[in-house]
Amino acid sequence: MITPFDYIEHKRACKQKKLERSTRIANLPPVYHDPLSSYDRELLKTPIERLVQDVHKGIVKPIDILRSYGKVAIKAHAKTNCLTEVMISPAAESWIEHVNLKAPLAGIPVSLKDSITVRGFDVSVGYSRNTGKPSAEDGAIVKILKDAGAVPYVKTNLPISLLSFESANDVWGRSTNPHNDKYSPGGSTGGESALLAYGGGRIGIGSDVAGSVRVPAHFAGIYSLRCSTGRWPKMGTKTSMPGQEGIPSVFSPMARTLPDLVYFTRSMIGMKPWEYDHSVHPLSWQSDVYDQTKDQKTLRIGVMRSDGKSQFPLYPLSLLF
């Protein structure tokens, strides 16, 4: 396309996606716009392991969990502009009808970084050229979540290029910190940290090359774990740097509380993700290692100063050691 027509098309695509998002929110069933009930508040403060147990026993219905978190997610977005694709209705409400009620994440809503592929929705990654191209099938992460009984319900904002400690792009706009709108929620998984910190979800999934789940967790006051390379699936996702494997991006969990982070990680590993994605190492959850270390008061940190050819780390990080 020839300038200035490519710029005009860019602006049109950005306007269209924002309109699509606001229309989906406005057209949600009325229950999502209602005030929080006492039952909603009870569900929102319950750890996910307990929620799953209650779903297994038939005490709690998955649709009630989705609607409780859906209400808060909409409020979180109004305050922080954290959401991109709103999948709550009719998509998530239809998926929930087929949830495996005995699975390890039965009925639990899970938010996703925008770069994760969900069938029927764009994976724009903040680029206008990627809009209007809904995915034909779910990526490996979403397949695992659905088989585990979880319910993907929203996708969250990120920076264009995915290489920034803030989360802003022309397609979706700028996300802000729920604690102070003059500050960033971090990046590149900043929409996710804003949503979780506000209370619009308990668990979500981001990706990390050089701090993209760790920095947002720090900025917003939540928990995250940058998994080792090959621990979580990455097939069926989109990046701004296809083929960059020097420092591989790792999809990783984020959560409002440490117990939720542990339970979520253990549940995902328990689903044998290597059966969904060949790049995942066939390594089960190591309960013995976890039990040995969870009560330790101090941690031992290893630092590789040299590989025999080069000195690490580079200045100024070297001043810390």
Residues with a catalytic annotation lie at 113, 188, 212
* Tokens of residue 18, six digits: 């924002």
Question: What sign has the CA pseudo-torsion 39, 77, 18, 215?
Answer: negative
CA-nearest of 102, 213, 197, 109 to 153 is 109
Alpha carbon distances (Å) from 67 to 57, 103, 108, 290: 19, 20, 11, 34
Q: Could you give the angle at which helices 48-57 and 258-270 cross, rounded to 10 degrees?
A: 60
Alpha carbon distances (Å) from 239 to 119, 208, 300: 17, 11, 33
Sheet strands side by side (includes 83-86)? 83-86, 151-156, 109-113, 203-208, 250-255, 223-224
Cis amide prior to 62 (ω within 30 degrees): no
248 Cβ contact partners less than 8 Å away, ≥ 6 residues apart: 209, 229, 234
